[in-house]
């Protein structure tokens, strides 16, 4: 199909106002938050901004009839080139389709369209005393569609789990244009084991199996209070053991975070007034729930940590809790301070390893960064072994970019060697597809068979995952 015919077909379906085809505007759709997307320009031929399931269905039918690739896109905050049209064709920008259709508070669930931004949903739910627990750091950007497609989570996954646990049902437009509803989309049961679990098939499928057009998700009561314990360690190896001590005491914090030596240094350079102690590691334990139980559990954690930590502070005072969180909340922005001409790039940033291999993985990352002279700052969700390493480079220095690639490859291989995964939260997309065989063995063939069954023409977000 000629490009002008393709553009006209899209205009016919969604109208001129919701069709993008000018070269300069199309470039806006050629990146996400990954470093790889700044090194390659994957431009669509046309972008459609649909506002109804019927429009999405008509676009998919037309694309299928003409074998044109289609890539769904939310906010473009992904770190894997997932929403980029690596084979051109159509991008579906679902971000403006952001209606919260229903909050069914008595039944603890919400029905929403894919473009709803995560923080907006939670702000809206506050009046009902409810919240949607998965909490990506990109809360003010990412859309529910992107979260479902990537099965996103965040620092509170240690207690609340990941997106898939909250998705009751989905409306999905299949690559040929057929509309299906999975699980409990059309019912209000909070539990549903009827039939093969198609909802879980689409959650985490990264836009390769269909377009998510409506989401029914469960929500939970908002916790009434929070408390925070911060502990410093003079030896990195003591930190994972301290986390285990807390779990063994029967306490499940709502977040357990780590800053390593490099992260502590970066925070102190960026915001000297935070003045973190010069430790080898800092652990942050957050508790949430009702005030009495938090108080008891917090004091218990503080006394457990005193055995191995060089210093511990516990507080439930909201102002103090906010101040104690500061070191963790600025670390991503602070990381680049360790290299004056450097920029933080998102690459090799999301490995997840068994809890008892976290110290080993942090040491391995440090060795790789020293060997290849690439600045690395590590922090993350130690509670479930998810390490976010910020790699800082001068992107205009080709030698540094080559060395970065070696470090990134080393980090990914290290994760697999340690019995972990290359990605705990951000997904595979294009940037980690080379590791799929090492992680999944012949299960990759089963994934491919499922993909071929649903998308025989291979038009749905091609080039990703496999």
**Residue 375, beta-bridge partner list:** 392
Interface segment toward ligand FAD; rule CB under 6 A; list 174-182, 204-212, 302-310, 390-398: 204-212
- Which residues, including other chains, have CB under 8 Å from residue 170's CB and lie 6 or more apart? 148, 181, 182, 183, 185, 199, 202, 203, 212, 214, 215, 216
Pick the piece of the chain touching ligand FAD (CB under 6 A) from 295-303, 335-343, 367-375, 422-430: 422-430
Site for ligand FAD contains 55 (CB under 6 A): no
Half-sphere exposure of 217 (CA within 13 A, CB side): 32
Which residues 6+ apart lie within 8 Å of 228 measured at CB? 284, 285, 286, 287, 314, 315, 316, 320, 321, 324, 325
Per-residue buried b or exposed e for 431-450, using 16+ beta carbons within 10 Å of the residue's own CB: bbbebbeebbeeebeebeee
Q: Of the candidates 208, 72, 91, which has an alpha carbon nearest to the alpha carbon of residue 143?
A: 72
- In whole angstroms, what is the distance from residue 181 CA to residue 102 CA? 17
- Of residues 171, 288, 425, 455, which one binds ligand FAD by CB under 6 A? 425
Q: Which of 44, 69, 85, 136 binds ligand FAD (CB under 6 A)?
A: 136
- SS3 category, 145: helix
At closest approach, how far in Å is the CB of 188 from ligand FAD?
A: 22
CB–CB of 289/223 below 8 Å? yes
Q: Is 383 a residue that touches ligand FAD (CB under 6 A)?
A: no
**Per CB under 6 A, which of residues 93..122 are in contact with ligand FAD?**
94, 114
d(CA 133, CA 219): 7
* Nearest distance from C-beta of residue 73 to ligand FAD, angstroms: 4
CB of 381 to ligand FAD, least distance (A): 8
Residue 164 or 417: the one with the smaller Cβ distance to ligand FAD is: 164
Query: Which residue among 57, 98, 143, 199 contacts ligand FAD (CB under 6 A)?
Result: 143
Q: Which is nearer to ligand FAD, 197 or 316 (CB)?
A: 197
Nearer to ligand FAD, 35 or 314 (CB): 35
- Indicate which single residue of 36, 58, 63, 149 sits in contact with ligand FAD (rule: CB under 6 A): 149
Which of 55, 79, 280, 286 forms a contact with ligand FAD (CB under 6 A)?
79
Quick one: which of 7, 10, 147, 282 contacts ligand FAD (CB under 6 A)? 147
Residues 210-239 binding ligand FAD (CB under 6 A) are 211-212
Nearer to ligand FAD, 61 or 320 (CB): 61
Binding positions for ligand FAD, 23-52, rule CB under 6 A? 32-33
Would you list the DSSP string of 199-264? HHHHTTSTTSS-EEEEEEEE-EEPPSEEEEEEEEESSTTHHHHHHHHHHHTT---SEEEEEEHHHH
Query: What is the Cα–Cα distance from 117 to 143, expressed in whole angstroms?
Result: 4
Nearer to ligand FAD, 142 or 276 (CB): 142
Binding residues vs ligand FAD (CB under 6 A): 32-33, 71-79, 82-83, 94, 114, 136-138, 142-143, 145-147, 149-150, 152-154, 206-207, 211-212, 425-426, 429, 461
């Amino acid at each position: 199909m000629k490009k002008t015919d393709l553009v006209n077909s899209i205009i016919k379906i969604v109208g001129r106002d919701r069709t993008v085809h000018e070269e300069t505007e199309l470039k806006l759709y050629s990146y996400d938050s990954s470093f790889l997307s700044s090194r390659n320009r994957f431009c669509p031929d046309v972008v459609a901004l649909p506002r109804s399931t019927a429009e999405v269905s008509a676009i998919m039918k037309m694309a299928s009839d003409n074998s044109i690739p289609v890539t769904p896109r939310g906010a473009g905050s992904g770190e894997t080139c997932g929403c980029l049209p690596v084979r051109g064709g159509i991008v579906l920008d679902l971000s403006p389709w952001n209606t919260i259709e229903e909050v069914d508070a008595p039944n603890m669930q919400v029905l929403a369209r894919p473009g709803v931004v995560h923080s907006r949903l939670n702000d809206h739910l506050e009046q009902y005393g409810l919240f949607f627990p998965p909490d990506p750091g990109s809360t003010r950007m990412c859309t529910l569609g992107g979260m479902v497609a990537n099965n996103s989570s965040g620092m509170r996954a240690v207690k609340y789990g990941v997106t898939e646990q909250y998705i009751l049902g989905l409306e999905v437009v299949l690559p040929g244009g057929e509309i299906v509803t999975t699980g409990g989309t059309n019912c209000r049961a909070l539990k549903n084991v009827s039939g093969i679990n198609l909802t879980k098939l689409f959650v985490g499928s990264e836009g390769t199996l269909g377009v998510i057009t409506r989401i029914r998700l469960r929500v939970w009561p908002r916790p009434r209070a929070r408390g925070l314990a911060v502990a410093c360690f003079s030896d990195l190896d003591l930190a994972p053991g301290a986390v285990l001590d807390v779990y063994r005491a029967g306490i499940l914090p709502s977040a357990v975070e780590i800053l390593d030596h490099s992260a502590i240094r970066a925070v102190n350079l960026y915001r000297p007034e935070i003045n973190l102690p010069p430790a080898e590691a800092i652990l942050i334990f957050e508790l949430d729930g009702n005030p009495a139980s938090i108080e008891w559990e917090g004091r218990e954690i503080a006394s457990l940590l005193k055995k191995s930590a060089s210093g511990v502070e516990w507080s439930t005072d909201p102002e103090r809790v906010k101040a104690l969180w500061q070191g963790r909340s600025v670390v991503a922005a602070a990381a680049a301070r360790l290299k004056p001409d450097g920029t933080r790039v998102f690459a090799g940033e999301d490995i997840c390893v068994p809890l008892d291999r976290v110290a080993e993985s942090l040491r391995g990352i440090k060795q790789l960064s020293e060997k290849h002279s690439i600045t690395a700052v590590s922090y993350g969700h130690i509670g479930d072994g998810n390490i976010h390493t910020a790699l800082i480079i001068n992107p205009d220095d080709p030698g540094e970019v080559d060395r970065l690639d070696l470090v990134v490859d080393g980090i990914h291989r290290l994760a697999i060697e340690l019995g972990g995964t290359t990605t705990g939260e951000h997904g595979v997309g294009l940037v980690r597809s080379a590791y799929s065989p090492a992680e999944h063995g012949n299960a990759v063939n089963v994934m491919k068979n499922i993909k071929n069954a649903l998308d025989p023409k291979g038009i749905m977000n091609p080039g990703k995952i496999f």
